[in-house]
Amino acid sequence: MGKLKQRLEHSGLSLIISLPANDVRLAKAALEEGADALKVHFNVGHRASGTHFGPLDSYEDI
């Protein structure tokens, strides 16, 4: 069983952070402040902010 699935099934509340950018600094900060899981974005554009996320493999180095 995956860690996220296990936490969701056995814990009362989980904090899942949706990162505004696929940036390792943001991910580390969220985890350091208590995030249980991170949501990253790929193959999507956010029309209001003009942010575009490329294919998942483009974030491998991050």
Digit-by-digit pLDDT tens for the chain (62 residues) are 687 788 778 877 788 999 888 899 999 999 999 998 898 889 998 887 788 999 988 888 87
Structural contact between residues 27 and 16, judged by C-beta atoms closer than 8 angstroms:
no
How many CB atoms neighbour CB 30 within 10 A? 19
pTM exceeding 0.85: no
Contacts of 1 (CB under 8 A, 6+ apart): 9
